[in-house]
Amino acid sequence: MAIVGGGIAGLATAFALQEQAGQAEFPLSLTVIEAAASWGGKIATHRVGDLVIERGPDSFLSQKPAGLELCAKLGLSDRIVNTNPSEKGAFVYSRGKLRQLPEGLVLFVPSKLGPFLRSGLLSLPGIMRMGADLALPRQHVKGDESLASFFRRRFGAEAFDRLIEPLMAGIYAGDAEQMSLRATFPRFIELERKHGSLIRGMLASRRKAAFSGQAAPSAGPRRTMFVTLKDGMDELTRALAGRVEQDGAGLQLGRRVTALRAPSVRSKVWTYDLMLEDGGVVTADVVVLAVPAYVAAPLIRPHSRPAAEKLEAIPYATTATASLAYAAKDLGPQVRGFGFVVPRAEQRDLIAATWTSLKWPHRAPPSQTLIRCYLGGVGREQSLALNDEALLGRVKEELRALAGITAEPAYAEVSRWDRGMPQYTIGHPSRLEALQVALNPYKGLYLTGAAYRGVGIPDCIKDGSDTAAHIVRYLTERRA
Ligand SMILES: Cc1cc2nc3c(=O)[nH]c(=O)nc-3n(C[C@H](O)[C@H](O)[C@H](O)COP(=O)(O)OP(=O)(O)OC[C@H]3O[C@@H](n4cnc5c(N)ncnc54)[C@H](O)[C@@H]3O)c2cc1C
């Protein structure tokens, strides 16, 4: 069995396979092949003095259980850190200043009116239009709908442009006009269908959760919406790779897969050859491609053109993060809370900025403040053509214009993510179905990772675990 790609999805698949094969009493001979020199893929932490810098993801959602559950299985629960309780809230840069995101937002949907009125983020007509969601009839849209179209019709253009669009861009670095509602937030379709209103639906689910006790603190420690690991996100991937190796997998770093040879079938057992850049060959009866879709496409193309075309139809956004460390005394009172997002309508280079060490104090010594800026994304890539020095210059200009930061950072670096973020554009769910149909004849060949059923770390972990379950089912049927 071979897994190609040692990002979180590939490693989580390996871990789940070992766990599930153990339970099903399958002998497992497993190899994980990774092109880079280290494990983790997009999860890439590095340390500069006392600064803990995340080149990629800096945290994960605690509400999707797969992340926390995996940490618990790896013995990392006491390494999990909540967001700083003494800083609160995030901001939106809108019409010339940073405005606090109104309290009581549950997944973009307001649950309290007062904070909305006070925040000044939306005009009174904008708030009233948002409230019209309570009265507007439900609409059955055939097929898929864009995020922009859905939220504009439910909440109005102003709430979409000033509130929802920037929060979504902060997650997907995408263009909401092109993104699929069904693939990204299917829950909202359900809320509209069932309750006729997103606000009513959200309030009802909260009441239900409170009534059934789900909202009460569970036996474990209370977690904030986003959590991270004490020494950085790569604690997770290092522990995961260590455990997978300890449990018998062969881990191969620095080996790039360049081709997948035509499978041969003997007594219903399919055999695949993975050709490596260094001339090596790995033969396996089960292959999991846990690589970006544009890497999987040429590997699959010789076997299934339709499948390769579906993979190629998954676009990627190119982004960059810039981490800057300032002397804390040089920053003014506007640097408070967790950071800010910038609506596309403002036509700025930054998508978002996180006051990293206010959100996670252990990421910098108290005398310093670490800031992380997010740039690029669909339709906003222009600034990424600049070299690192010029890009940092642009980031500093943005921080001055948007947040009044005039000081010079003591340290600054850029991390580039060329085609780093898959985009679930309209039609993504039906493309995935067609992809599955095209791959069905190839027994023992699987695709997992951020390109398909969720980009967040818990989504990738869950996808890896689901993939392992499919593999164990396939092996059980084959054995029978
Ligand atoms: C800047 C940025 C910030 C993000 N922030 C967050 C966040 O805060 N929270 C969150 O939940 N998510 C975040 N995400 C999303 C999340 O990090 C990713 O979706 C997730 O880590 C992807 O995991 P993966 O295993 O699917 O892919 P990857 O991490 O891309 O792993 C794929 C692996 O395959 C390897 N590979 C590629 N080609 C080959 C080949 N031919 N042979 C062998 N190996 C190969 C690669 O080297 C890589 O290690 C962020 C993403 C980015 C880019």
Among 179, 169, 108, 195, CA closest to 145? 179
Locate the domains of the chain by residue range.
Answer: 2-43+237-314+424-479, 102-211, 316-422
Give, using CA atoms, the residue closest to atom 10 of ligand 1. Answer: 456
Among 469, 438, 467, CA closest to 453? 467
Q: Name the fold adopted by 102-211.
A: protoporphyrinogen ix oxidase, domain 3 (1.10.3110)
Q: Which two tokens stand for residue 308?
A: 């390769």
Q: Angle at CA 285, nearest 5°, toward 18 and 2?
A: 50
pLDDT of residue 216: 45
For the chain, how big is the Rg over CA atoms in Å?
23
Q: Which two tokens stand for residue 446?
A: 């699987």
Give the relative orientation of helices 293-300 and 305-312 as an angle to the nearest 10 degrees: 160
Strand order across the beta sheet in which 80-82 lies: 60-61, 226-229, 80-82
Atom of ligand 1 nearest to the CA of 457: 11
Whole-number Å distance, alpha carbon 291 to ligand 1 midpoint, is 8
Please say whether the beta carbons of 321 and 373 come within 8 A. Answer: yes
Task: State how far the Cα of 126 lies from the Cα of 41, in Å rounded to an integer.
Answer: 41
Q: Is any atom of ligand 1 closer than 6 Å to the C-beta of 54?
A: no
316: enclosing H helix or E strand: strand 316-327
pTM recorded for the entire structure? 0.95
Q: Name the fold adopted by 2-43+237-314+424-479.
A: FAD/NAD(P)-binding domain (3.50.50)
Q: Which two tokens stand for residue 9?
A: 């999805």
Whole-number Å distance, alpha carbon 290 to ligand 1 midpoint, is 9
pLDDT of residue 217: 47
Q: Is any atom of ligand 1 closer than 6 Å to the C-beta of 41?
A: yes
199-213 residues labelled b (16+ CB within 10 A) or e (exposed): bbbbbebeeeeeeee
Supply the DSSP string of 398-461, one letter for each residue.
Answer: HHHHHH---SPPSEEEEEEEEEEEE--BTTHHHHHHHHHHHHTTSTTEEE-STTTS--SHHHHH
Query: Which DSSP category does 261 fall into?
Result: E
Residue with tokens 């222009």: 382
In terms of C-beta density within 10 A (0-12 exposed, 13-18 middle, 19 or more buried), how is residue 124 classed? exposed
Within 10 A of 337 (CB to CB), how many other CB atoms are there?
18
Q: Is any atom of ligand 1 closer than 6 Å to the C-beta of 417?
A: yes
Q: Which two tokens stand for residue 472?
A: 């164990």
Q: What is the dihedral of CA 449, 453, 455, 457, to 10 degrees?
A: -70
Atom of ligand 1 nearest to the CA of 59: 8
Please say whether the beta carbons of 43 and 56 come within 8 A. Answer: yes
Atom of ligand 1 nearest to the CA of 5: 34
pLDDT in tens, the chain (480 residues): 999 999 999 999 999 999 998 887 888 999 999 999 999 999 999 999 999 999 999 999 999 999 999 999 999 999 999 999 998 889 999 999 999 988 777 777 877 777 777 888 999 999 999 999 999 999 888 889 999 999 999 999 999 999 999 999 989 999 999 999 999 999 999 999 999 999 999 888 877 766 654 544 456 789 999 999 999 999 999 999 999 999 999 999 999 999 999 777 776 788 999 999 999 999 999 999 999 999 999 999 999 999 999 999 999 999 999 999 999 999 988 899 999 999 999 999 999 999 999 999 999 999 999 999 999 999 999 999 999 999 999 999 999 999 999 999 999 999 999 999 999 999 999 999 999 999 999 999 999 999 999 999 999 999 999 999 999 999 988 887
pLDDT of residue 23: 86
Task: State how far the Cα of 302 lies from the Cα of 260, in Å rounded to an integer.
Answer: 8
Q: Provide the CATH number for the domain formed by 316-422 in this structure.
A: 3.90.660.20
Task: State how far the Cα of 249 lies from the Cα of 18, in Å rounded to an integer.
Answer: 9
Among 334, 376, 375, CA closest to 355? 334
Task: State how far the Cα of 146 lies from the Cα of 179, in Å rounded to an integer.
Answer: 5
Atom of ligand 1 nearest to the CA of 458: 11
Q: Return the percent helix, strand and coil in the chain, to nearest 5.
A: 40, 25, 35
Residue with tokens 């005398």: 367
Q: Is any atom of ligand 1 closer than 6 Å to the C-beta of 8?
A: yes
Q: Is any atom of ligand 1 closer than 6 Å to the C-beta of 464?
A: no
Q: Is any atom of ligand 1 closer than 6 Å to the C-beta of 455?
A: yes
Q: Is any atom of ligand 1 closer than 6 Å to the C-beta of 256?
A: yes
C-alpha distance across the termini of the chain, in Å? 19
398-421 residues labelled b (16+ CB within 10 A) or e (exposed): bbeebbebebebeebbbbbbeebb
Report the amino acid identity of residue 313: A
Query: Which DSSP category does 191 fall into?
Result: H
Residue with tokens 């139809």: 313
Residue with tokens 């579906």: 310
Q: Which two tokens stand for residue 104?
A: 């009581």
Please say whether the beta carbons of 231 and 52 come within 8 A. Answer: yes
Task: State how far the Cα of 14 lies from the Cα of 4, in Å rounded to an integer.
Answer: 10
Give, using CA atoms, the residue closest to atom 41 of ligand 1. Answer: 257
Residue 261's beta-bridge partner residues?
A: 273
In terms of C-beta density within 10 A (0-12 exposed, 13-18 middle, 19 or more buried), how is residue 152 classed? buried
CA contacts within 13 A on the Cβ side of 6: 31
Q: Is any atom of ligand 1 closer than 6 Å to the C-beta of 350?
A: no
Task: State how far the Cα of 468 lies from the Cα of 464, in Å rounded to an integer.
Answer: 6
Please say whether the beta carbons of 101 and 90 come within 8 A. Answer: yes
185: enclosing H helix or E strand: none
